[in-house]
Structures are given as structure tokens and as C-alpha cells.
Amino acid sequence: MAAVTRDTCAALDAADALAPLREQFDLPPGLIYLDGNSLGVLPCATAGRVQDVIRREWGQDLIQSWNKAGWIDAPQRVGDKIARLIGAAPGEVIATDSTSVNLYKVLSVALASVQAADTDARRRVIVSERDNFPTDLYIAESLARQHGFTLRLVETGEIAAQLTGTAGDELAVLLLTHVHYRTGRMHPMAELTAAAHAAGALVVWDLAHSAGAVPVDLKGCDADFAIGCGYKYLNGGPGAPAFLWVHPRHLAQAVWQPLSGWMGHAAPFEFTPGYRPAAGVKAFLCGTPSPIALAALDCGLDTVLAAEALGGMASVRAKSLAMTELFIALVAQRCAGHGLSVQTPADQALRGSQVSLHREEGAYAIVQALIARGVVGDYRAPGILRFGFTPLTLRFVDVWDAVEQLLQVLESGEWREARFHQRAAVT
Amino acid sequence: MAAVTRDTCAALDAADALAPLREQFDLPPGLIYLDGNSLGVLPCATAGRVQDVIRREWGQDLIQSWNKAGWIDAPQRVGDKIARLIGAAPGEVIATDSTSVNLYKVLSVALASVQAADTDARRRVIVSERDNFPTDLYIAESLARQHGFTLRLVETGEIAAQLTGTAGDELAVLLLTHVHYRTGRMHPMAELTAAAHAAGALVVWDLAHSAGAVPVDLKGCDADFAIGCGYKYLNGGPGAPAFLWVHPRHLAQAVWQPLSGWMGHAAPFEFTPGYRPAAGVKAFLCGTPSPIALAALDCGLDTVLAAEALGGMASVRAKSLAMTELFIALVAQRCAGHGLSVQTPADQALRGSQVSLHREEGAYAIVQALIARGVVGDYRAPGILRFGFTPLTLRFVDVWDAVEQLLQVLESGEWREARFHQRAAVT
């Protein structure tokens, strides 16, 4: 790539069809926010919408709002919007609970499904990546322990070998996060799903760093189950409801998932003592939904769905790749000799919407020094400076300015100051 | 009781030390809301507080708020406020997830605890009431099925017999809702807990209709586990986070509950692949908490804790009993001959903060006709008109006026109109 200037970046912004989408957000002035992969920014619509839910729907209409404001159907209504982003059909997705709780539900059902089919009990292994996001591993560990399965954690390069031969014969469920939280590496979903199916196993995809960030085609990939997060690229707000999807072939009969709360009952308002699961994905609901949290998530989804008129996730993806490509090029061009290496794959097909840099020394402090300068990324051990690129809110000049600030932090050595080395409770 | 007039009620209001607490709420003008046992009313503070969390903490400070605004500790901080209402100590309660999900966690641990101690596998029965709130039964049914226990559902009058003799020897866990959602009957918590312990069993109390409604003394009763709801008498808003409490004796060693998500890990931000439960009740956290929902619940709790300066839950209880007693007396005095009977115990020691009336014919339609007149109660099959009395928001004249409207609905026969017979999705 020829040497890039800030003017080059400004020209890219001027030509960017997605640029108007930035106006949907209430962004802190001057801040370059490269952490939308941790917590998405605030849409302009959210505060007013939540006020209306609180003041009118709750405050004035009170319990009537379960019917009148459609609170009762919100998990499905919001789920239908998510479906449009992940290659699922209406009625297949619900927005509810947390990602961890939703994984517990779908992985339980996946294991039960394998156990029912595998009468000679040969398939008793769940395979995942050793450095998958820990909560997924903790939930899988819990279920493996409960149901007599083994959780086998392997390195990324060892996954393929788990899908063939003896290992493939033992494989019950392949549990992967589509885009890796730390490195930004993206798995080939269609290929791995097909290989796991060929081995006779089921696949659960965690879309925490994919939904709203990269095109996802669950049905096209013939996946089995998926879960994901509402507060990252979907801009649903801190602790937003998560989501889950189940392929219809696993819903041909009503499913009894272990968190069989009343909202997943076939007739919750009959108040009968025996559980009878609802038809379809509704059986994966558990307790009473939060209309306030679902309204905020709905506003976040609208910001992503606004891209549909501008080419949809394909356009978002094109801009995301242009941005990560630009960032990688600028770091190489301007920060050479400062000990930074790129952890995210150079192959665009294997890259999510983030770039992770590695530095042997001072990575945590460099991130803190950047934050002090108004460039927000985050740190992940060991030695990783993580930068998320959300095409809905970021400009190409922001990428330029971020690298400029990074360069200044490195050249000034200011990151060596003690204040940048203090660890917070949440990192 | 001598015949009561509206003036008698007005005099009671004039003498009511808790009357100023009503000013904490944003109540719809003219509405008499007798459904705070289903969804508590909106505190004046909530909308502004949630706006601040959304606009400033999320919108401006973004991920910094996990540390700066204390988002990460909110489940414990809010839990500590709940502890003050239920006879628990700071650090013993967390506010998180839904009541159903929390029951799954604590009942799992209770069953595992029994299994570990009961080496000859004699205790394999969970006892609950047949008409306990269904979601509790559905969760218990799921866990019984998973772990090889039997869920034995009995009538209220049969509970005592389950705690002695052969039945007592088989009893693993007694699972009861303290105040019955439909009838308003309250169990003697101390007595039943002692009897279950004498039988060698553990006790799980659901405080959905107790917390903030009646005095609860979990430690004084030596209970084992409790769960409860944030959106009823705690005024946390629709779908508010629920809570759970675990007696410290069950936390002497770190507890691995099945929903072992990252927030319950001993060191979530070390991102290690193996689960290691946090010490104490924190191990019962699972996914990422919702600071927005917890802020709303916090505002709701403040409205209840405001009673502490006015005698606390003892004063709240005294007013609640005065109100339910008044309602029962007025129904007897004014609605005689209209086929209403009182389902809630006449014995105050066995009465929660609600009164349930029964009518053979038209109960659903009568409730709808009352709502049309601005008196909001709700219907529960079969034939029950349910009225909750929340002493923080209600006046004694409201009780008078509610009975007056009930009388008019009955005398006019307007409830026979077709429009009052249409069933909504949520009842």
C-alpha cells in the first residue's frame, strides 16, 4: 500500500456510503472509541425510548402494558430483528437472559440430543478452544461434569484434527466462538460446521463478537445452535439481554431445556403445576422478561438494521475490513521499530472486526496512556492491545488519529509513568 | 368492628405515620392500584436515575463505568439493601438474573448438599405445594428429573405430615413460597424451617410476595436458601433483577453452582480456562449484570428502606394488616349477599399483604369492570379476585373507594357486558 496520509483517510470518509449512520449515536465529543467490541456506544434513540417505557408504559399503564405495550412478546419481537443479522428466520431467535445462561440452555439440549441418539455412549466429548472466552468454557465445564462428558480444550490449530478419525467418533459437540475475543481471529463457520456434522457431532456457535460485526449465515452454514451478546456490536447497552438461536430441526418436537421457567411454558397463564414446554424457540425462555432492557436493545438493533438500506452487513463488512486493513497498514508504516506485532490474521477471511496488537513490554500501560489521550481500546493478557472497529460509528480519520496517538505514546515514553500501571477491578 | 364510614378511613390516613411515603411515587392520577403484588409502581427517582446511567455512565463514560460508576459491584451493593428487608447480613444477598434462574442455582446446590451427606440415598424427595407459583414447580421438576429426585406436590394442609416419620426421612428439600401468590396465605417460616431441619432436610423459601411486604427474618428462622422478585413490592420495575440469599453455613467452602458463568469466578478478569468459584454468595453470579436494571431496582429499594426511619417493616406490616382487615370488613359490611367469600386467612399471622376474594360466577369480568373504573386488581383462576395492599402507596380511603366501586360493579351488573369477558394474552 502506498504511504497513507490523513487526507487519504478524509477522502475515504467523504466517499463512505455508511458515514451517515454515525449520526444515530450520542458520541462523547473528541473521543475515539475503539471498544465497541466490549460495550457498544449509546444510540440517540435509547434514552427517550427507555424514558417512555418507564414513565408511560410502566408508570402510567402499569400491568396493562404486558398486553397493551406488547411486553410479553418483546423477547421474540427483538429476536426477530437479531435474526435478520445472523441468517436466521423470524420466530427462530429470542432475546433473553445472559449469554452464559443461554449457552447453558442450548448446550444442555445439544448434549441431551447426542445422548439420545448415541445409544452406545461413544460420543462423550465437547471440544472447544483453550482460550475461548472463559464463560463459555466454565458453562461447558459445568455441563460436562453434570452429564458425564469430557470437555477437551485444544489450540486453534488442533481443531480440525478433532473432527476426524477416532477423535471425531468421540465428538458430541463442537463449541466455538466465531470471532475470538482476544485475537479477532474468525473461524470458517460453514467449513467447521460441515466437518463436525460429517463426524456426526453438533455445533454451537457463540456470536458475541460476530452479530452486527460480520455477516453471519447460520442457516446457510447449517449450524445447530447459536448464542450471542446484546451489548457489544448490537449497541443494546451494558448488560443488555443476550440472544439464542436454535435450528428448526432441533425444534420439531417441543424441547425441555433445563431452565424450564414459566415463560417457556406452553400456557404460562394457565398456572398449571406440571411443565409443558412451548412449541419452538419460546421454550428457551425462562423467567419474566425485562421490557426496559429489551427496549434499549431494540434501539441498538435499529442502528445496525439501518445499514440494510445501504447494502446491509455486506457493506458493514467491507468498511470494517477497509478500516482494519488501514489500521494494520498505518501501524506498520508509522510505528515500525516500537515492538508491536499484529495478532489478528492478515487473511481477511479469518479476521473479525478488531485488530489486536502485541507488545512484550508495557501493553497494559500503553492502553491506559491512550485512554488518557481519548483513544479507548482495551488490554487483554498477555500483552495484547485490543482495538475494535465498529463501522457504524467510526471514521477513517479516527483510524489515522488513533495511530497518531499510539505513535506519540510510544515515542514520548509517557506510558512508563506510574499512573498508567495501576490495575482497575475490571480490565 | 363497628360500621366503618369513609370518614373513619380519612381519619386513619390523617393519623398514618407512613402516609408521606406515598410522595415517593409517580402515581397515575385517580387510579387505585391494588396490584403492587404483581408489578410495583414507579418511584419518582427512577426515571432520572436511569437517564443518568444511560446518558452519562453509559453514553459518556462508556466502559470506564464498570470501575468508575461501580457497575461491577452493583449486584452485591443492591443485594445488601435487600438484605436489610429479609433478615440477612451484608454480603449474603445478590441481585441478579430472574427468580426462576436463581431458584435453579440454589435448589441445585441444596440437592447436591443433600446428596453429599446422604450416603445411603434415602433422601430423594423435594416437597412443595401443588399450587405453589408454577415457575418454582417447573424448575424443581427439571432438577428432580435431572438428579433422580422425586418432586412431591401436596396440599397446604398436608405439608406438616411431610416433615415427620417416614416422609420426613425421605425429605431432601422443602420448597415453599412464603406468601401464596393466589390466596395470600403466609406460611409460618420459623416453625416450618425448624420442623424440616428436625427431619434432616433443607429449606428453600421463595420471598416473591414477602420481600418489602411483610417482615422476613431469614437468619432468625435459620433458613437455608431464599430467592425473590425485584418487581413486586420492591418496586424495581418490570422484569427487574431478582435476588438470592444463601445462609453462610452453606458458603463455608466455595460453592460450584451449575450456572457457573464468569461473574461468579474467583478472578473473572484473569480469563483463565478453568472455573474456580468465587468465595461467598458471589459464586451465584453468572453472566454480565445490567447496570440499568440494577439502578432501577436500587431506586425501588430506596422507597421501601425509607420506611426504616418510620419503624421499618414492623410499621409497614401494621399498616398492611390494618388495610387488609379494613378491606375484609368493608366487603363483609357492604357487599354482603353478592356471593363473595374471602380466601385469605382471617388469622393475621397467616396473612400476607393481599386479600383474595372468591366468586363462583364472573370473577374475571368483575376484575375487568373494576379496572375500567380505575380500581386495578387482577384475576387468578379459579374464580379469584386478587387485591394487593402496598402500604407505601395506598391510603385507607383508597380501600374504602375500592370497595365502593366493587359494590357498584356488583349492583349494576355491568360486569355481564361482553367487553369485560374478553381474555387478554397476559391475565
Contact call for B287 and A261, based on CB within 8 A: no
CATH number of the domain within which B261 lies: 3.40.640.10
Task: Decide if A361 touches B, using CB distance below 8 A.
Answer: no
Q: Sort A282 into a burial class: Cβ within 10 Å, 0-12 / 13-18 / 19+.
A: buried
Identify the residue among A141, A262, A297 best suited for mutation to test binding to B, counting B beta carbons within 10 A and taking the highest.
A262
Give the separation between CA A373 and CA A367, rounded to whole angstroms: 10
Contact call for A275 and B141, based on CB within 8 A: yes
Give the separation between CA B52 and CA B50, rounded to whole angstroms: 5
CA distance to partner chain B, nearest, from residue A381 (Å): 8
Residue A234's domain comprises 49-305
- ipTM beyond cut 0.90: yes
Residues A290 and A318 in one domain: no
Residues B83 and B163 in one domain: yes
Residues A69 and A208 in one domain: yes
Question: A-chain residues within 8 Å CB-CB of B129?
Answer: none
Kindly state whether residue A373 falls inside one of the protein's structural domains.
Answer: yes
Over residues B363-376, the mean pLDDT reads: 98
- Helical packing angle, A291-305 and A44-52, nearest 10°: 150
Give the separation between CA A356 and CA A185, rounded to whole angstroms: 9
Kindly state whether residue A41 falls inside one of the protein's structural domains.
Answer: no
Residues A144 and A210 in one domain: yes
pLDDT surpassing 70 at residue B1: no
Kindly state whether residue B373 falls inside one of the protein's structural domains.
Answer: yes
Largest separation between any pair of C-alpha atoms in chain A: 70
Give the separation between CA A389 and CA A36, rounded to whole angstroms: 7
**Partner A, chain B 132-161, Cβ-Cβ below 8 Å:** 132-135, 137-139, 141-143, 146, 153
CATH number of the domain within which A351 lies: 3.90.1150.10
Contact call for A42 and B58, based on CB within 8 A: yes
Give the separation between CA A22 and CA B215, rounded to whole angstroms: 52
Residues A250 and A333 in one domain: no
Give residue B14's pLDDT band: very low, low, confident or very high (50, 70, 90): very high
Question: For residue A250, which of A230, A222, A274, A228 has the smallest C-alpha distance?
Answer: A222
Strand A378-380 relative to strand A340-342, pairing: unpaired
Task: Decide if B101 touches A, using CB distance below 8 A.
Answer: yes
Kindly state whether residue A44 falls inside one of the protein's structural domains.
Answer: no
Contact call for A63 and B378, based on CB within 8 A: yes
Give the residue ranges of DSSP H helices in A335-362: none
Give residue B424's pLDDT band: very low, low, confident or very high (50, 70, 90): confident
Question: B-chain residues within 8 Å CB-CB of A46?
Answer: 54
Over residues B306-324, the mean pLDDT reads: 98
Kindly state whether residue A145 falls inside one of the protein's structural domains.
Answer: yes
Task: Decide if A336 touches B, using CB distance below 8 A.
Answer: no
Question: A-chain residues within 8 Å CB-CB of B237?
Answer: 54, 58, 290, 292
DSSP-assigned letters across all residues of B273-319:
SS--BPSGGGGG--S---HHHHHHHHHHHHHHHGGGGGTHHHHHHHH
pLDDT at A61: 97
Over residues B153-170, the mean pLDDT reads: 97
Residue finishing a domain among A305, A335, A362: A305
Contact call for A98 and B63, based on CB within 8 A: no
Kindly state whether residue B213 falls inside one of the protein's structural domains.
Answer: yes
CB-nearest partner of B261 from A31, A135, A293 = A135
Give residue B299's pLDDT band: very low, low, confident or very high (50, 70, 90): very high
Residues A326 and A291 in one domain: no
Element (H, E) at B173: strand B171-177
Q: Which residues of B34-48 are buried (b: 16+ CB within 10 A; e: fewer)?
A: bbbbbbbbbbebbbe
Q: What is the dihedral of CA B264, B265, B266, B271, to 10 degrees?
A: -150
Question: B-chain residues within 8 Å CB-CB of A261?
Answer: 98, 100-101, 135, 138-139
Query: Is the CB of residue A397 less than 8 Å from the CB of residue A13?
Result: yes
CB pairs under 8 A between A and B: 275
Kindly state whether residue B286 falls inside one of the protein's structural domains.
Answer: yes
Instruction: Say which of A206, A298, A378, A398 is annotated catalytic.
Output: A206
pLDDT at A93: 98
CB-nearest partner of B237 from A274, A286, A292 = A292
Residues A142 and A288 in one domain: yes
Strand B384-388 relative to strand B354-358, pairing: antiparallel
Residues A299 and A355 in one domain: no
**Partner A, chain B 291-320, Cβ-Cβ below 8 Å:** 291-293, 296
Residue finishing a domain among B259, B286, B305: B305
Query: Is the CB of residue B334 less than 8 Å from the CB of residue B407?
Result: yes
CB-nearest partner of B288 from A47, A98, A272 = A98
pLDDT by position in tens, chain A (length 427): 578 999 999 999 999 999 999 999 999 999 999 999 999 999 999 999 999 999 999 999 999 999 999 999 999 999 999 999 999 999 999 999 999 999 999 999 999 999 999 888 899 999 999 999 999 999 999 999 999 999 999 999 999 999 999 999 999 999 999 999 999 999 999 999 999 999 999 999 999 999 999 999 999 999 999 999 999 999 999 999 999 999 999 999 989 999 999 999 999 999 999 999 999 999 999 999 999 999 999 999 999 999 999 999 999 999 999 999 999 999 999 999 999 999 999 999 999 999 999 999 999 999 999 999 999 999 998 999 999 999 999 999 999 999 999 999 999 999 999 999 999 888 8
Mean pLDDT score across all residues of chain B: 97
The total number of residues shown for chain B amounts to 427
pLDDT surpassing 80 at residue B423: yes
pLDDT at B119: 81
Concerning whether A206 is annotated as a catalytic residue, the answer is yes
Strand B202-206 relative to strand B225-228, pairing: parallel
Residue finishing a domain among A247, A280, A305: A305
Taking residue A419's Cβ as centre, other Cβ atoms within 10 Å add up to 11
pLDDT at A1: 55
- Count structural domains, chain B: 2
Contact call for A135 and B287, based on CB within 8 A: yes
Give me the residue label for grid cell 441481585.
B95
Give the separation between CA A360 and CA B116, rounded to whole angstroms: 47
Residues A25 and A112 in one domain: no
Residues B282 and B331 in one domain: no
CB-nearest partner of B138 from A135, A260, A425 = A260
> Closest chain A residue to B132 measured between Cα atoms?
A273
Concerning whether B231 is annotated as a catalytic residue, the answer is yes
Kindly state whether residue A371 falls inside one of the protein's structural domains.
Answer: yes
Question: For residue B285, which of B249, B255, B252, B248 has the smallest C-alpha distance?
Answer: B255
User: What are the angstrom distances between the C-alpha of A275 and each of A207, A283, B99, B131, B145?
Assistant: 30, 11, 16, 13, 12
Contact call for A238 and B72, based on CB within 8 A: no
Tens of pLDDT along B239-260?
999 999 999 999 999 899 999 9
Contact call for A275 and B153, based on CB within 8 A: no
Tens of pLDDT along B171-213?
999 999 999 999 999 999 999 999 999 999 999 999 999 999 9
Task: Decide if B290 touches A, using CB distance below 8 A.
Answer: yes
Residues A201 and A234 in one domain: yes
CA distance to partner chain A, nearest, from residue B401 (Å): 20
Residues A159 and A259 in one domain: yes
Tens of pLDDT along B260-269?
999 999 999 9
CA angle centred on A42, ends A41 and A45, rounded to 5°: 145
Dihedral (CA of B87, B46, A289, A206) sign: negative
